[in-house]
Structure 1
Amino acid sequence: MQMNFIVGGTALNAELSHLVIAGWTGRDPEAISHHIEELAALGVEPPSATPLYYRVSASLLTLAPHVEVVGSSSSGEVEPMIVQLGDRRFLGLGSDHTDRALEAHSVALSKQVCAKPCAAELWAWDEVADHLEQIALESWIEENGEWVPYQQGTLASIRPLVELIAGAGLDRLAADGAAAMMCGTFGAKGGVRPASRFRMRMTDTLRGREIAHEYAVTTLPEVA
């Protein structure tokens, strides 16, 4: 899967071979319990362990500003994203868009059926590694024609990214083509719910910069 990223204003073309979705990655046990309860309200069974690493098709990762989903049960989740090319590592921004109805049947399958939108811009790992926990992520959804705050937090709320990288075996995967991983998210304000548009932002206050991305969702009919 060819991905055309941008690092420091320079194009970075990567042939993506592997995509991992890390789930249940909260550092605070109470926050994990809250997210489990949040999804349990949608009928999702609790995880067998935390964290878990779901392998999905690399072709799901997309830079497109528009995705199509079947039915009205999917929603986005803002997440830090690791991209690894050989021994080069980058931090980016993505959305683990997931079918919530299917999630109640199988989380693994629900991760596979929706595109995973991401921003084109990446930050070099050595530029953020010493202050990762200060990096903030936010998301908004469009409801009734207005943008509504949906998620907010810092990477301090997520397990250390180096721990997730090791747990997923990302270095090993990257030896066989570029690899990417979504690294988990925060609870949703007002509960998990679908929206026609999703906006997300990652802010590095130490370096005075941000990465942002927005995408629209088209709902295709669910035909039985």
Structure 2
Amino acid sequence: MRFETPEGSREFAINRLIVAGWTGRDEAAVRHHIEELAEIGVAPPSTVPLFYRVSTGLLTRDRRVQVLGGATSGEVEPFLIKQSGRLWLGLASDHTDRELEAVSVAASKQACAKPVADTLWAWDEVADRADELRLTCEIDEKGSSTLYQKGTLAAIRPLADLIEGAGMVDGDAMLCGTLTAIGGVRPAAAYRMALEDPERGQRIELRYKVDLLPVVA
């Protein structure tokens, strides 16, 4: 995939795509969430955090994604790529099938496209203040825009720890976890996401709409 970087447009070969789950930094809150999900039949993770493998073909620049049925939703997430020994930071959405999640979290991650922004920052330029970077997500629901997620990367396990835990090598890309959804996880017709660096006054944006495919039997 081709991305815009501070050094110009560059091509990145992505050989392995990872979705990091259960990455909240508040371990008590993570345990509570695991217990809540267990009550509705979602199996607990084998380890925390857990690194799911999904198809690299799920990464998309399309600004309309097609999903089966009305039980999917997106999540704003920091996005990392490693190439030629260097790490790059961007923005993506872990769009997930929530009904399938009750059967298999791994399968739910594989079921939907993963929209990704077209811009990357050099990780070494922001690594020392990564916790200060801000994530936001607004959604369209019931004809109006609603704030869905907002916070800093301080709510997520340090990305350096996730990089090490996933064993990232050249050609790897990883979605690194998300923030709590304001008002609860739910479907939406469109998403507007951003990663902001307040120190530099820079911003990466990602927008996409969702088209529902009918479920037929």
TM-score computed with the length of structure 2 as normaliser: 0.95
- Alignment correspondent of 2:146: 148
Partner amino acid for 1:187? T
Structure 1 residue 180 corresponds to structure 2 residue 176: no
Could you tell me how far apart the structure 1 residues matched to 2:183 and 2:28 are?
17
Could you tell me how far apart the structure 2 residues matched to 1:5 and 1:66 are?
19
SS of equivalent residue, structure 2 residue 157: coil
Deviation at 1:142, TM superposition (A): 0.4
Deviation at 1:194, TM superposition (A): 0.5
Deviation at 1:86, TM superposition (A): 2.4
SS of equivalent residue, structure 1 residue 25: coil
- Alignment correspondent of 2:5: 7
Deviation at 1:33, TM superposition (A): 3.6
1:16 to 5, 14, 17: 14
2:120 to 122, 132, 149: 122
CA gap 1:39/1:12 in 2 versus in 1, 3 angstroms? farther
- Alignment correspondent of 1:198: 191
- Alignment correspondent of 1:46: 44
Deviations 1:115-134 (A, max 9, x none): 00010000011210111010
Partner amino acid for 2:158? P
Which sits farther off after the overlay, 35-44 or 152-161?
35-44
SS of equivalent residue, structure 1 residue 111: helix
Partner amino acid for 2:121? W
Equivalent residues, number: 217
TM-score computed with the length of structure 1 as normaliser: 0.92
- Alignment correspondent of 1:56: 54
Could you tell me how far apart the structure 1 residues matched to 2:62 and 2:7 are?
19
Structure 1 residue 93 corresponds to structure 2 residue 91: yes
Structure 1 residue 220 corresponds to structure 2 residue 213: yes
Deviation at 1:213, TM superposition (A): 0.8
Q: What percent of counterpart residues are identical? A: 54
